[in-house]
Each structure stands twice: as structure tokens, then as C-alpha cells.
Amino acid sequence: MGRHGTIAGRKAAQDSKRAAMFTKYARIITVAAKDGGDPEYNAALRLAIEKAKAISMPNDNINRAIKKGTGELAGETYEELKFEGYGVAGVAVIVEALTDNTNRTTSAVRSTFDKFGGNLGSPGCVSYMFSRKGVILIEKSDEIDEDQLLETALEAGAEDMTTNEDSFEIITDPALHTEVHQALADAGYEIAESDVEQIPSMESTPTDPHDIKMLTKMIETLEDNDDVQKVYTNCAIDLYAE
């Protein structure tokens, strides 16, 4: 529950930040398009476009981002950054960013950790508590046969599937994520979310309401930063519901 929360809760959080999400996905598309602007031959770009369309990003924005990546339009050069540290109550936090100004992003992330009682650490200080995996969420419905879904996912190369409150969560090797995603889509399953993520192998459960509030505010502030793409924690509590 802590890592994903419910699909409805995550969609509500995305809807409230739609303009910022457009900026984040435009950067992802631009970076993916550097390996080719045709989504038919660029799986990373195809998936990025699917995710952008899922939040109703206009086609003009998508096409402009692609052209920036292929060099048809002038655009910024983005660098991938990864920050690691701890929030209050010892909750491990990983922040992934795409930025055209490393100093600006580093300063903003460090300031956010400090403001909400956290500590930005050195590379590797918390990543040993996470595993990089492909994660595909499919919303539960009466039409979905759980056994058939599991069989389809495993045949496509998935590692495992778990059942959550309102979704089926399929785990893959990162290298097979796009392949499994496509196989499920081809089989007619509607995919609610799909990405390569950092999954915690050990969790932390803060109990103090003030700590939970501080941690929630820190995550929200980080996610509001246009440079930040993803924030992961090993918090066992659903922070999206706080």
C-alpha cells in the first residue's frame, strides 16, 4: 500500500498537478526520442507517449517534445540525476531527476530534505534497500480472470504478480518491462500504470503523526519540482492517502 496506494488515489494526485506532469513527461519524451523519433522502432519512446496520452497531454506538446529530442527543434540537454537520503523517522528516499541545470536541482533537493527534517546522503546510502523492477498495474474488474492474467504475464516474461486493493501488480525484470507491457496490451488488458521503478526490499513504518505529516510534505514538495521525475520511499504507509 505504501508504495502505490490505490489507483484512484494516485490518479487524483496526478490530476491536481496536471500542468506539472505535462512538463515532466515532455522531458521524458525528449530524452527517449534521442534514440529515434519513430515510436514503432523505439520502445521507450512508445511507452513514454502512451503515458503522456494517459494524462491527456496534447498531441502538439508530444510532437514538439519528440522534435526536440531528434534535433528538429532547438531544445535543452537534460542530465539524469539520482539523489539518496533519509526522511524523518529513518524513511529511505530516492529521488530521480532530469535537469538542464545540475546546481539548481541539487540545491533544491537538498533544501527540501533539510526543510522537512531529512538528510540528503551520499550515492548508495539507501539504494541497497531497493531493487529496480518493471511494474505494471492493471485495474481490477469483474471481466478480468486473475489466473488468466497471471498466465499471460508469466508467458511474456513477468517474474511475479500480486493482488492489491484495486489492482493487479505485475513485476518484471527491467529489461523485459516493455515486452511484457506490450504483450498484456495486445491481449486486451487496459494498463493503468507502467514504469520501471525502485521497489523497497525492506520497509519503514513511522508511527508519529507529525513525522508522517512532515514526510508527506517533503514528498509533495519534491514532486512539485519540475526537474524531479520520480520519488521513491520505503515507507509502508500510503502517503497519498494522508
pLDDT in tens, 150-197: 999 999 999 999 998 889 999 999 999 999 999 999 999 999 889 999
CB 99 within 8 A of CB 227: yes
pLDDT at position 81, please?
Answer: 97
pLDDT at position 227, please?
Answer: 95
Question: What span, in angstroms and rounded, lies between the C-alpha atoms of 1 and 170?
Answer: 15
List domains and CATH numbers for the chain.
7-70 (1.10.10.200), 79-124+202-241 (3.30.70.980), 129-200 (3.30.70.980)
Q: What is the pLDDT of residues 49-66, one digit of tens each?
A: 998 998 899 999 999 999
pLDDT band for 21, please (50, 70, 90 cuts): confident
pLDDT at position 14, please?
Answer: 58
CB 116 within 8 A of CB 219: no
Helix (H) or strand (E) holding 177: helix 177-186
The proportion of the chain whose per-residue pLDDT surpasses 70, expressed as a percent, equals 92
pLDDT at position 2, please?
Answer: 44
Q: Which candidate, 21, 30, 27, places its Cα nearest to that of 66?
A: 30
Question: What span, in angstroms and rounded, lies between the C-alpha atoms of 66 and 165?
Answer: 36
The proportion of the chain whose per-residue pLDDT surpasses 90, expressed as a percent, equals 82
pLDDT at position 1, please?
Answer: 35
Q: What is the pLDDT of residues 91-141, one digit of tens each?
A: 999 999 999 999 999 999 999 999 999 999 999 999 999 999 999 999 999
**Average pLDDT of the residues of the chain:** 91
Total residues belonging to the chain: 242
Q: Which ranges in 17-134 belong to alpha helices (H)?
A: 18-33, 43-54, 59-70, 102-115
